[in-house]
Structure 1
Amino acid sequence: MTERLPLFPLGTVLYPGLVLPLNVFEERYRRLVADLVAGEEPFRFGVVAIRDGRDVAPTGVDQGSQALAGLGPDPAHALFPVGCVAEIASVEQRKDGGYDLIATGTTRFQVESFDATGPYLTAEVERLPEAAGDEAAVLAQAVERLFRAYQKRLAGARESSVTGLQELPDDPMVLSYLVAAASVLDTGDKQRLLTAESAADRLTAELALLRRENAVLAKLPSLPAVELTRQAFNPN
């Protein structure tokens, strides 16, 4: 069964359970938020990531205007087909007419069709089920160990402290999304983690990605160098 959602294209991937702050100041997205809050709660919209190689605004600010302007005549070519429903937890209208809002990712969806004829992009979407998959608990333990090592190496590259790290969740599904959100990966890798069919599949992919990232961080002294050379570096 499909439903229609207004869409907010972003240069990042939103996962279920993760928080998304947005500063909305462009007119079409003011209209989107105004239409949502004029209706009944819960206020929901869809977040879809823009494919790599397009010029978008930084994460956390009003990326929508630049995003939509660069999508071209067919959003299906510019946007990934799997996104995440965002539910607004708080919204405040500023004096300039824009909005500061905080939303939380809730459910993944598959886009069935886009509609760019209105004041902002909408889509017919179908919610995707969540499954733990085989050996999810065992995989989660392995991912947690690698992720802890990754956090320490990443903090070292940034010359920051890892003191006060919060406890990681026991639920393999929740852990899989938290690791996906907290890892420094390109949009393509993050999108592949979002589209994994089960937590076990996502955790398996994260094992490979964390091994790769740990190898890179172990070889390179600083985070900018990591980001600049990651694609060219092929660890053994």
Structure 2
Amino acid sequence: MLPLHIFEDRYRALVRHLVGLPEGTPREFGVVAIRAGWEVGPTAPDGRPLPGDDVTLHEVGCTAELRQVTELPDGGYDIVTVGRRRFRMGTVDRASAPYLTAEVEWLPEPDAPDEAAELPAARVIAVFRQYLGLIRADPAEIPEQLPEDPTVLSHLVAATAALTIADRQRLLAIDDTAARLRAELRLLNREAALLRQVRAVPVPLKELAAPPTPN
């Protein structure tokens, strides 16, 4: 789930385009993390921001499907989206629209139960509950039930855990559910161990600071 406040003219144009699609057409746009550079570059003569020429993007992204659109009095939008399909980017077009577009290759998702993922899924559920207990003070905030489908579980963990952009990107790029769950198990064990240490030993906040991300 990804709620967004749309205020830039180029993304207002994107939302208008999606809303105007014929009924039954998927209303999806791509979300890609920035590897280096900045999304916004120089401004056009009319003052609108232009995509940064020096920005480099990660190859693997995910589509976000519009689920709810609220138009605001100033012409902007509040939207609610849900992640749908992973893709690998090809050629990026910076000129055909106010926003970046690209040719993409859809990445595979399992369409049948994966028996190899059942064991790591059970382990991830156990460690994920421990992790949530460390980051959420109120036990009521910890869900009683987690998805039984290993693939859905793997994406939920990746979206919920407080991971770095680099960690999230590595998880997103893994095609195999069992491999993604095993990677998440390592990350959750690492994060849980760090949380236990931080709670036990006072650490100056400056030592916990992470470098800024352009995303």
Q: Same fold (TM over 0.5)?
A: yes
Which of 129, 147, 150 matches 1:172? 150
User: How many equivalent pairs are there?
Assistant: 195
Partner SS state of residue 36, structure 1? helix
Matches within 5 A, 1:129-208: 129-131=108-110, 135-155=116-136, 160-166=137-143, 167-208=145-186
Report the TM-score, using the length of structure 2 for normalisation: 0.82
**What does the per-residue CA deviation read over 1:161-213, in whole Å, with 9 as the maximum and x for residues that have no partner?**
12252210111001100011111010000010000121111101011101110
Tell whether 2:52 aligns with 1:72: yes
Gaps in structure 2 of 5+ consecutive residues: 43-50, 211-215
Answer whether contact 2:133 2:142 (CA < 8 A) is retained: no
Deviation string 1:11-49 (CA, Å, 9 cap, x unpaired) is xxxxxxxx1111000111111111121222331111111
1:95 Cα shift?
A: 0.7
CA distance in 1, matches of 2:93, 2:116: 40
- Whether the aligned pair in 1 keeps the contact of 2:37 and 2:52 (CA below 8 Å) is no
Flag the structure with more relative contact order, 1 or 2, with Cα contacts below 8 A and sequence separation at least 6. 1
* Contact preservation (8 Å) 2:90, 2:104: yes
- Is 1:120 the counterpart of 2:120? The answer is no
Q: Percent identity?
A: 43
CA apart distance, 1:120? 1.0
Supply the RMSD in Å over aligned alpha carbons: 2.5
Name which of structure 1's ranges 211-220 and 40-49 shifts more when overlaid on structure 2: 40-49
Give 1 or 2 for the bigger CA radius of gyration: 2
Secondary structure at 1:114's aligned position in 2? strand
Say whether the 8 Å CA contact 1:216–1:230 is kept in structure 2.
no
CA drift at 1:226: 8.1
